[in-house]
Copies of this chain bind each other. A is one copy, B any other.
Amino acid sequence: MTEDEIVAAIGQLCRPEPFDYAQDERRRGRPRVMLGIGDDAALWQPSRSHRSAISSDMLLEGIHFTRAAMSLEDAGWRAMAANLSDLAAMGARPVLATVALGVPQADGVGQILELYRGLAACAGRSKVEIAGGDLSRAPALTICITVVGEVRASQAKTRAGGRPGDVLAVTGPLGGARAGLVLTGSPLPIEGELRDAALRAFRHPVVRGAEGRFLAASVNVHAMMDCSDGLSTDVDRLSAASECGASLESIPVAPAARALAELQEEDPERFALAGGEDFELLVAVAPRAFTHLAARFAAHFRRELLRVGTLHEGRGVLWQGAPLARLGWDHFTSGADGS
């Protein structure tokens, strides 16, 4: 079974009947959960006019990061960024985070506080307060973060709203974090600004929070998610949730990823398609609105909204006209280590 299949079986256990929000409200007499397992975040309604979004992630030393590749402060930053990115992908403004930490015997207060410095720095950048959590011993350093945010009901974006004909676009070039991961353990002759940019993308990813809220505010953005597992996997998830197929046309490749792929005699676009954890946002946009939206986006953020393909009737992802398998990481079909 793949990770997605296990998640579907879990969803079935946790909510045996298909969800009918109106019926739920009639029966229980008060608002409840509106979007459950399977998207970037869950949504609920704390009052009639508000929506809250929540997302949890677990990161483990040896599986999601190693101390050889980054400092504990960087690991804390990256863990918090990954979670905040899930809220950005819903169009939600983050409010608070909780952090549950499992710490090996060998680590003391110094290590715990170093990790927290990274967590707090990344949270502070997004004006999020770390408001609680838990502390325990564990065989490997384990960071479990939950973030909560707020979003207007009309603006919450899921993976499921894409329509045939929609333009698929991302908020930045891809493959940078994968290049950074390779470079931390490699003597490859990539130096200077290219190397720094790749290591920064891997260790200190930027959350596209303001970009997410900007895109969520447009009725022409039909679906949104973040690129955390590689574009080939993420486009497959978005298009499947939207009951569409997708055609990828061109992949924007981060300069360091291009340099590294060429050095390794790999196809740069394929390298970028498989690279996870860039935390750029992937959107499906009404085709007639794309040019105008991209121009407004560029004016506002001084970065491009980059077209990567389109949604169409059917299923599956095509790249250069041929079916594309998922190139990213799956914890439950891949081997024991990975990103």
Q: Which residues of A are interface residues toward B (Cβ below 8 A)?
A: 1, 3, 6-7, 9-10, 13-15, 28, 32-33, 35-39, 41-42, 44, 46-47, 49-50, 52, 54-60, 62-64, 95-96, 98-102, 105, 109, 112-113, 116-117, 119-120, 123, 127, 129-140, 142, 144, 146, 148, 150, 331-332, 336
Chain B residues within an 8 Å CB radius of A137: 60, 63, 331-332, 336
Q: How far is the CA of A332 from the CA of B139 in the complex (A)?
A: 14
A320 to chain B, nearest CB (A): 32
Q: Are A100 and B6 in contact (CB under 8 A)?
A: no
- Nearest chain B residue, comparing its CB with the CB of A82: B134
A22 to chain B, nearest CB (A): 16
Tally of this chain's copies: 2
- Nearest chain B residue, comparing its CB with the CB of A131: B42
Q: How far is the CA of A32 from the CA of B131 in the complex (A)?
A: 11
Kindly name the residue among A62, A64, A138 whose own CB sees the greatest number of chain B CB atoms within 10 A: A138
Chain B residues within an 8 Å CB radius of A136: 58-60, 63-64, 331
- Nearest chain B residue, comparing its CB with the CB of A16: B120
Q: Are A13 and B120 in contact (CB under 8 A)?
A: yes
Q: Are A130 and B37 in contact (CB under 8 A)?
A: yes
A59 to chain B, nearest CB (A): 8
- Nearest chain B residue, comparing its CB with the CB of A95: B44
